[in-house]
Structure 1
Amino acid sequence: MKQVLQHRIDATFAHYDVNRNGVIELADVYALANRLLLAFGEPASSERGRELVEAYDRFWEAIVGHCGAGRDGRIGPRAYRDAMIEAFVEGGPINVDFLEVVRALLDIADTNGDGRVDAAEFRVLLKARGLSEAECGLAFSHLDLDGDGAISVDEYVAAVRDYYTNPAEDTPGSWLYPEALQRT
């Protein structure tokens, strides 16, 4: 059980290590936020843009605080894994900050403001995070639980929580990063 969850966390580490230097730094976090803002054409100065950057910033503060790395520190794969296990598997204090990032992501992705993310919006979100076109479609088909062609914020938040806490291989959350599923 724990091995599956650790593998999933390790897969997400690669998405946060934007510059691929083997550690996550504040610059990686901001680069990911900027990549998402650019993908959706959202200025960082807009309300939604500021909310996304601020949510990522709070997440960074929480995770470096847990790791004892300091704001300008660097977080390696092991420290990241330990922090995320505390946050989700054990339900520690980072949980709230991370879920704020998840909600801010969905707010940016919800370009028409209907409170849901359709397949095209979701594809932009996941491609900006580094997933392939095929992985985006696969993830969406498993996360759209009611088959209405969209993912609600609540569905996505539940899937993220499921990804980090449920070691089963065919749950909605297990499909957030299909490449992680394929390696378990």
Structure 2
Amino acid sequence: MSTALLKRKLDQSFARLDTAGTGYAERADFQDVGARLIRGFGQSPTSPKGKAVAVRLEAVWAELAAYADTDRDGRISSAEYEHGMTKAFIEGPGFDPVFHPCAEAVAELCDTDGDGQVRREEFAVLQRAFNTPVSDISAAFNRIDTDGDGTLSTQELVAAIRAYYIGTDPEAPGNWLFGPL
């Protein structure tokens, strides 16, 4: 993967986590994203979908922190995030056993009626939980909706998440997961 492309995607995803603008991502940031997702989709943290998202986000944090939080201060700088994401998920062994199940849990949460489809409005709830600028949400959906049917299958959404984090194709629709890079 192009180092420049990787850096842009990781910088963008880090910015989605560092919502307070502190320059760090912490466990609480992952928990906050989870809580916004769960609330946004009208679930309780104790519902099966709510628990699945919370548990999977915690696993992503733990895996990332194991590689990134080298000084063990409980927070990850942008540089540590880039290093940790690369070592844990991009080059390392963690994507399939840790990150992929989290992506599936999030996609299942987005599919509010269980039909295997994520509608534009559901995608917008997901994006707002990650603080994606409202002006970027429609463009992201349109790029990821590769068949143009106005919905994303849960598999399409998971594939977009995979392409965003570990894909090597600079033209991949998944690179638009959080809007333009």
- Within 5 Å, which residues of 2 pair with 1:103-122? 103-122=104-123
1:157 is matched with 158
8 Å CA contact 2:64, 2:88 repeated in 1? no
In the TM superposition, 1:57-68 aligns within 5 A as: 57-68=58-69
**Structure 1 outlier segments of 4+, above 4 Å:** 68-72
Matches within 5 A, 1:3-42: 3-42=4-43
Please state how far the C-alpha of 1:70 moved relative to its aligned partner.
Answer: 8.6
Report percent identity of matched pairs: 33
Alignment of 1:25-174 (within 5 A): 25-69=26-70, 73-174=74-175
TM score, norm. by length of structure 2 = 0.90
CA displacement, residues 25-52 of structure 1 (integer Å, 9 cap, x when unaligned)? 1111111111111111111011110111
Normalised by the size of structure 1, how large is the TM-score?
0.88
Q: Is the 8 A contact 1:88 1:161 kept in 2?
A: no
Gaps of 5+ in 1: none
**CA–CA separation in structure 1 for the residues paired with 2:100 and 2:79:** 21
**Number of matched residues?**
180
Question: 1:110–1:121: 8 Å Cα contact kept in structure 2?
Answer: yes
